[in-house]
Structures are given as structure tokens and as C-alpha cells.
Structure 1
Amino acid sequence: MDTDSRTPLIMVAGIDQQQVADASEALWRQDPQGTALVHHDLRAVAGGVVSRNTRHGSQSDAHVLELAHGCVSCTLREDMLPLLRRLAERPDVRRVVVRLDIALEPETICWALRHVELDGRPLVDDIDIEAVLTTVDQRTWLRDATGDEELVERGMGGSADDERTVAQVAVGQVEFADAIVLAGAAEDRWTRSRTEAVLARLAPSAPWGTRDDIARLLAEIPDYARRGEVDGPHGRLLRGQPPLETDAGVTTLLFEERRPFHPQRLHEAIDVLLEGVVRTRGRIWVATRPDDALWIESAGGGLGVGHAGPWLAAQGDWSGIADERRLRAALNWDDHYGDRAQELVVIAHEADPSEIAQALLRALLTDDELAAGRQSWAGYDDPFAEFHRDPCESSGARELDESEMGGNQ
């Protein structure tokens, strides 16, 4: 018997404002008297102004918020989260639909729902994340997901210092989706096939369909879907069962090695994860940093490197470590290296995966370097010793913060 009394919440994301609005409206129309539709418009957030619209039944409320600090996190903390709790407590609200601003990534919002406390408890005590839907324009999505245009260049940035690219947002929104709402029509069969091949690898368990199919899409979301669960940098790199064979030139490379990277050679090879690549995600071990795992993530022409916390082999106390991580480490434990390893998943649409693998293999320590030991490794020049806010022009790398990686557990 289902005794969950929490209010279901569905989140709708995407980089086309009208398509996100259309999908959200379709959800609201399923039960307009019982559904609250919420939207925070962040186009003027840099100036400290956010427009909030709430719709429930025949009632529609438009409110302009003036924030002391014009940022997305302030909007979340000061208005969105308190509003969602108020709606969840109303007996006449049977479901909440959150129409995300196009610059928002659902992973960040779901992390906040699970971890940010209001009055001593998180929002998931009152709200059940039923599904995350992402809209995809078949005409333009693949081009956006493989480009290097920044959000601010397109007028989509949440603030003037928002350095994210359109590709990073577009790919992240799809990757986190439980279902995908397709819109528009690809200009030709090849574009459609390539777009579908990429979607199948980014979100292999997510059903697809148009906004007219939303009821079916929700019903077809599998029981094992993430539904707002945030993996973090030590979580699973592959969810579901993505195709491993090449389709329309799109392929998935899983790169796994035990020996560490030489920091300088890795820095020189890092462009291989940008050219002709849709997505890279994974954990890396650099010889000069034996205790620290680094998280590397790319989408289109944007790439970031961030701190992913210590390897388990460098920790004496595992009491705060998630069971899944401890189990995975135990299954793959090496007597000498512990859980230290290279684990990268690369989705390429134009690049040759064998060339990517060879470039990464050349960046690993040689047998002679490995035999020289840690004392010798410590003397290597290390471009990763300090993460770059203003990175090398050639790599396009940038630092990822904790919210983008979903925390360190």
C-alpha cells in the first residue's frame, strides 16, 4: 500500500523558452484544478529582479521579486524553495509543475530540493520528484550541444559572470532527464538520426515523444529512473544500458586504466576531449596528486576540471561514504593503488574513439616513470595544481564548483 503523502513534482527543462512553456502547459492541462504551475523568469536576475508566475486552477499570480543579490542561488533560497513548500502544504494542490528558466539545469535544482534545509528539513520531506522532463528541438539541439557559444552571448546567462556554454546546459538537461519531449523537425534524416543516437547515449532509459504524448511518457518512465537523484562525482558514470555500437557516426568510449596520468602530457592532450566530442564525464588520477580524485567534464566546446574529493585509499574513515561507492571500490580494489583509477566515458559524434583512446594512453605514465615512484612524480610540473578560472585558450577548461557536480559523495 502506497502511504507516501508527499506532493508529486514534475520539472520541465530545455533551452527553448517556448518549447518548455508548451510542455509545462500540457502538464498543467491534465489537471488544472489540482496542478500548480510555477515559473521563475531569470532574464533580469543580474539586475536583482526576478519575475515569478504561479498558476493554479482559474487563479494566476504574477509577482516581481527584488533581490539584494542578483543571482540564481538567491532566487532558489529566498523564493523558489519556500514557495514549493507552501504549495506542497496546500490540500488543493495535488501536483506541482516547475517550468525551469532556460538557463537552469535540473540537477542543480534537484540537489537543492534534497539537501538545502528550510526550517530544519529538506524539501523532499514534503515533495516527491515524480519526473524531470527535458524538451529537445530536433532542428537545433545537436548543433547547440556540440558548439562553444556561451550562454551570455545568446542572452541566456543567469548573470554577467556566467561562463557556462549553451552546450553544457543543453547536454546536462538531457542527461538528467527521465523523459524527453521532442519538438520541431530535423532538417534532414541524417540530422535526425545523429540527434537520436546522441540522445540514446546521454539518456538511455528516457522515453521520447511529443508534448501530445506526455501522459504516455510519464507512464513509460522505468522504475529505475533517477527521478531527481544526483550521482555526484563518485557515482555511476553510465546509467541504464546505453548502446555501445556506433550509430550515425555516434559512439561511446569507456576509458579505464590503473596507472596515473602525467600532468603535463594530459594537459597537452586535453583537446582530444573537445574536438568532435559531445560529452565527457569521469574521474581521473594525476600523478602529482596521489590522494585527490579530479572530476573532468566536457560538453561541446566547453570543458571543466574540478576537485572530486579524496580517493578512498587515502581515507582512514569510510563511515560517511555512500554504500554504493564502497561496494564499487571493493569490487575493483587494487592491492597497490586501491580505488585510484582513470574512468572516463566519452560520447563522440565526429571524432575517432580509437584516436581519443590513444591520445589518453600516451598521457599515462610510462613504465620507467611508474617505476620511479611517487617521490619522482611530485617533481613534475602540474597545470592542474590550481584549477583555472581563466584557463588556457587552447583547452577551454574551467573549474567546476560543487553544485555543478552534485556534491562530493
Structure 2
Amino acid sequence: MTLSVVIVGGLHSDARRATVEQLLADVPGSVVLHHDLATAAAGTVVRTIRDATGVLSTGEAPLVNDCACCALREDLVPELLRLAGDATTRLAIVELWDSVEPKAMAEVVVVGGLTVTGVITAVDPALLLPYLGNGDDLADAGLAAAATDQRTVADTFARQLEYAPVLALVDSPEADDEDRELLAQLHPTARRVPVPGGHLGDSAGAPARADASGARSDLASAALAGFDVETAAAAQHPACALLPAEADAHGVSTLVWHRRRPFHPERLYAALEDLTCAAARSRGRFWLADKPDTLLHWDAAGGALCVESAGPWLASLPDAAWELVPPVRRAAAALDWHPEHGDCCQHLVFTSPGLDRDGLERLLESCLLTDAEYAAGRDAWKRLPPAFDTLLEV
């Protein structure tokens, strides 16, 4: 029997543990593999393997290049392969440590020759906005996975949330309609599965036992439904990401802003702080007049913005190079092709409670080239001041 692997992650540790306990209760023959990176400062990563009855084994993985995540990668696949050799183990639940992101681990497991059947991020809806708004460095929160880890709480949580096709939602009494609506707008395509409890120590947090009839629970079904790492990676790539759609409900709005005209680099740069702070979460792709061939990625959460090059627009590539581009990228470009600019566009999405949609649109529009600047043509655009060179480390 082939071992199924489900990855359960998320910064909401109580929600994550409740999800893991529920899977143990729902799936006979399941075990949990967890690497505790909190001990990394002492030079080791502690590995624990347990089932529904208790701990089966513990061990230590030495640090690799002072990187706890690297130690996890080196140790994870051999342990899973060992579990795969045990005919009694049906499902391996990889419970990620707080700040470990599921994308990297799912890809490591697949490269190791194992089958990932599900990726789940556990969420307490009441904590959604506080975490998305937390611009603190992981290191300051004691959650860094390496000495060089420069991620923030907000951007890490956003990636954990948006990568997983399944969100396990604990029944949080503090959550309200706004929290649930924010979650729905941030990741509208996710399968949302309720999990009882989530506050360890409460009697309500005890996992419900599997149905006596043998029927598979929603959570177990999600864990075993199947997962494709290439499709998941494509869904996160700025060139073809499946971004949220327009929405407005329960005080939460999503603004989808799509334009063809390029940004003026200086005016956009001057507006970055206001644009970054305008929403709890914003992301997408954009282009600058002075860099018309470069696809730029916009990724903002917690009041911090990351802008980076995601390579060339397809419109800037020779025809022969298109064969080297993944089909999903070519398909996304074809659906959004413009006769003059090809796939070059502004496609930014802002999601937040209390979003000032009109003010945000006015600010974005003011950053585009004016009619006269646009009419001057690409040669003139390229001579505009390169305001983003420092940010892009050009």
C-alpha cells in the first residue's frame, strides 16, 4: 500500500494541533511526524513521531548550515520513506513547525518520491486579521527558521494561507462574520473544512471520533483528495496566479484593479506607502514605463511591501522562446492578451475590512502615465527616472 502524505501547517498553532488530532482520530493507521524548530538555537531539531495512542519515537536532526529548515528537509524524506516501509501506516501527517511554509516541504516530499495527497493550513478565523496585520520580523517573535530569516509574521502567514487548497477552520467563538468573510475573499477557491475546538485544554477541543459507519470525514477526504505541486506553484506565480475576484460583504471588500497603461516610476514610488497601508493584503503583477519588458510582482501584508522581478513578460520574448515557457503561463497570457502590449498589464488586488475603494482607485490612476507621457512612446518611457532600481537592487 502506497503511503499517503498530508502536510498540515500554519502559524495558528492551536488550530494546527486540533487539525492534526482530528486527522489522527479520523484516519486509522495514521501517524504524525513533527520537527520542533524551537530547539534550533541549541544546535538540533527535535523529531517526534506519534499515533493516536502516543509517542512512537523521538530523535534529533543536526542543523545544516545553521538553518533549521534545511535540517528538516534533510531529515523529512528518510523518515517518511521509513514509514512507507511499514505496512500498517496508511497516512503520514507532516505537522509543520509554526513558520515553516508548506510549499517548500510539499516539493521536497514529492522530489523524494513520495505522494502528497493533501496540503492543509489550519486557521483560527479570529486571529486572521491580527496575523495579517503583524509586520514584526519572525526573528523578533522567536519564529525564525534560520539566522538569515528575514520574513515577517504577516507575509509568512499570507503565503501559508494562500498556497493550501484546503483550510481547516477551528470553531472559534471569538470569530465573527467579518473574519469569515475576510478569509473567504483572501482565498475564495479554498475548500474550507470545519474542525471542532482548537483551544487545547478545552473539552470542546477534543477530537470527534470517526463515524462508526466507516464514512470518511470531510477533513480526512480533504487530506486524501490529491495534490499537484506543479499546479500549486503555478497558482502562486505572479504571471498566472489565480487572484481573488471583486467582492464586498460584511464590511470586507476586494478591489480588482486592471489597467493596460504602464505606471510612471516616480509617481508610483511616491505612493508606495499609502498603497501598501491601504489594505490588509494586496498582491498581483504590474509594469513600469522605464522597464517595459519586466514583469514585476507586488506582494504586501502587515504594512510591508515586497516588489521583485518575476522575469520577462511573454510579449518581450522571441517566438522561439515561448516553447520554453510552461503551458499554464502561455494559457494565462493568451487569455489576457492585448494587441499592442501583449500580456503587459496592471493586475493588482486589494482585500481589507473598511477598504476605501474610491480613494484607492484615484491614487492608482494618478500613478499611471498621462496621455502625453503615454503618447511619447517606449523610447521616451525608458528615459524616465529609474525610481525602483534601489528597491529592485538593480
Shorter-chain-normalised TM-score: which range? 0.7 to 0.9
Contact (CA 8 Å) 2:26, 2:220: kept in 1 or not?
no
What is the distance in 2 between the residues matched to 1:180 and 1:66?
32
DSSP-derived class of the 1:162 partner = coil
Residue pairs, 1:139-218, within 5 angstroms:
139-183=126-170, 185-187=172-174, 192-204=176-188, 205-211=190-196, 212=207, 215-218=217-220
In the alignment, what sits opposite 1:286?
288
Contact (CA 8 Å) 1:138, 1:186: kept in 2 or not?
no
Deviation at 1:315, TM superposition (A): 1.4
Q: Deviations over 1:8-61 (max 9, x none)?
A: 2211112133332232122123345x2231111112335542111122576611
| 2:379 is the alignment partner of 1:362 | no
In the alignment, what sits opposite 1:257?
259
In the alignment, what sits opposite 1:334?
338
Deviation at 1:297, TM superposition (A): 0.6
In the alignment, what sits opposite 1:405?
none
Contact (CA 8 Å) 2:6, 2:224: kept in 1 or not?
no
In the alignment, what sits opposite 1:41?
36
Shift in CA distance, 16/333, structure 1 to aligned 2, threshold 3 Å: closer
In the alignment, what sits opposite 1:61?
57
Contact (CA 8 Å) 2:259, 2:346: kept in 1 or not?
yes
In the alignment, what sits opposite 2:268?
266
- More displaced, 18-27 or 361-370? 18-27
What is the distance in 2 between the residues matched to 1:221 and 1:198?
24
Contact (CA 8 Å) 1:255, 1:342: kept in 2 or not?
yes
In the alignment, what sits opposite 2:123?
136
Shift in CA distance, 138/254, structure 1 to aligned 2, threshold 3 Å: closer
DSSP-derived class of the 2:88 partner = coil
What is the distance in 2 between the residues matched to 1:80 and 1:72?
12
| 2:376 is the alignment partner of 1:372 | yes
Shift in CA distance, 254/265, structure 1 to aligned 2, threshold 3 Å: same
What is the distance in 2 between the residues matched to 1:88 and 1:383?
53
| Residue 52 of structure 1, aligned match among 42, 47, 66 | 47
In the alignment, what sits opposite 2:347?
343
Deviation at 1:87, TM superposition (A): 2.8
What is the distance in 2 between the residues matched to 1:365 and 1:230?
33
DSSP-derived class of the 1:235 partner = coil
Deviation at 1:85, TM superposition (A): 3.4
Contact (CA 8 Å) 1:175, 1:203: kept in 2 or not?
yes
What is the distance in 2 between the residues matched to 1:340 and 1:29?
50
Look up the equivalent residue of 2:135 and give its one-letter code.
D
Deviation at 1:335, TM superposition (A): 2.5
> Structure 1: which 5+ runs fail to align?
115-121, 390-398, 400-409
Shift in CA distance, 185/35, structure 1 to aligned 2, threshold 3 Å: closer
Look up the equivalent residue of 2:250 and give its one-letter code.
A
Shift in CA distance, 151/68, structure 1 to aligned 2, threshold 3 Å: closer
Q: Deviations over 1:346-388 (max 9, x none)?
A: 1122331222222111111111111222222222222322446
Look up the equivalent residue of 2:47 and give its one-letter code.
R
Contact (CA 8 Å) 1:311, 1:339: kept in 2 or not?
yes
DSSP-derived class of the 1:163 partner = coil
- More displaced, 351-360 or 104-113? 104-113
Look up the equivalent residue of 1:340 and give its one-letter code.
C
DSSP-derived class of the 2:247 partner = coil
Deviation at 1:276, TM superposition (A): 4.3
Task: Output the aligned Cα RMSD.
Answer: 2.8
What is the distance in 2 between the residues matched to 1:226 and 1:360?
36
Shift in CA distance, 349/132, structure 1 to aligned 2, threshold 3 Å: same
In the alignment, what sits opposite 1:108?
104
Deviation at 1:73, TM superposition (A): 4.3
Shift in CA distance, 179/140, structure 1 to aligned 2, threshold 3 Å: same
Shift in CA distance, 112/341, structure 1 to aligned 2, threshold 3 Å: farther
DSSP-derived class of the 1:151 partner = coil
Deviation at 1:199, TM superposition (A): 0.8
Look up the equivalent residue of 1:368 and give its one-letter code.
A
Shift in CA distance, 323/23, structure 1 to aligned 2, threshold 3 Å: same
What is the distance in 1 between the residues matched to 2:291 and 2:42?
41
Contact (CA 8 Å) 1:276, 1:349: kept in 2 or not?
no
> Structure 2: which 5+ runs fail to align?
197-206, 211-216
Shift in CA distance, 36/217, structure 1 to aligned 2, threshold 3 Å: closer
Shift in CA distance, 72/365, structure 1 to aligned 2, threshold 3 Å: farther
In the alignment, what sits opposite 1:117?
none
Contact (CA 8 Å) 1:49, 1:66: kept in 2 or not?
yes
Shift in CA distance, 72/289, structure 1 to aligned 2, threshold 3 Å: farther
Contact (CA 8 Å) 1:177, 1:203: kept in 2 or not?
no
